[in-house]
Each structure stands twice: as structure tokens, then as C-alpha cells.
Amino acid sequence: MRIHDNDEDKKLDGVSVSDCVIVSSFSHITTANTLELYFDNKKRCGAEGVRNVKMDRQLGKCWIYFEDPKSAVEVCRRSHVVDSKLLCVLMPEDTYHGNNRKLYCHCRERAGYNWLSTNTYVAVS
């Protein structure tokens, strides 16, 4: 399954990256519009240029698509709090090639997740 809106991989410094981030751990009161406004504000999140937002409440995830893949990478480098909840912001797993795997590892430990050698996240109890 591809997460991208199109079939073309995007490159950043010669490495394939996504223009999308997956956001989870948001509050039950947080809406897709709230996340769009937050992630399209350079002062708040460090990026701008949101072009699409898809939220699935049943899965508890929201896909944020940016015009520039650099914006997606930048938001993964920071912590984000919306509606008093620390968000978990990750790059889609299918975009990693070689050394690019480290980009997936930006869900902070204080959000209750640890990175395992198996390249998956698990909740920390």
C-alpha cells in the first residue's frame, strides 16, 4: 500500500522521502481542520505548505501532506502539542530506503514510545 498521493518518490539529498507525515496521539476534540491550521503555520510547527489532510478517527491517525517534502522532514524533527496533547508525528514506513530509516524515529520517548531494532514502535508502559 502506498501512502503517497502519487506514484512518484520524492528525493531529498538523493534519498527518497515522503511529502506526508502520520500524526497520532491527538485529543478526541482535535479536528482535521485544527491539525491543518497547526501544521500550516511556520511559527508553530516549523513548516508550512499543507496541501491535504486525511483523518481517520477509527484508526486514530491523520495524514498530513505537504507541498515540499522538506516540510514533512522538518515537522518530524520537532515536538508538537495540540489541544494539550503531545502528538506522535512519523514519516510513513514505506518511504525508507537505506540510511533514511532514522527519519521514522521522531516520536519522542516522552510520548510513550520506544524505537526497537525491528523498526517498529511499541508503547512503553
Backbone angles phi, psi at 104, to 5 degrees: -75, -15
Architecture of domain 10-123 in this structure = 2-Layer Sandwich (3.30)
Position 2 pLDDT exceeds 70: no
What are 55-81's pLDDT values in tens digits? Answer: 999 999 999 999 999 999 899 889 999
Domain coordinates in residue numbering, the chain: 10-123
What are 115-125's pLDDT values in tens digits? Answer: 433 334 434 33
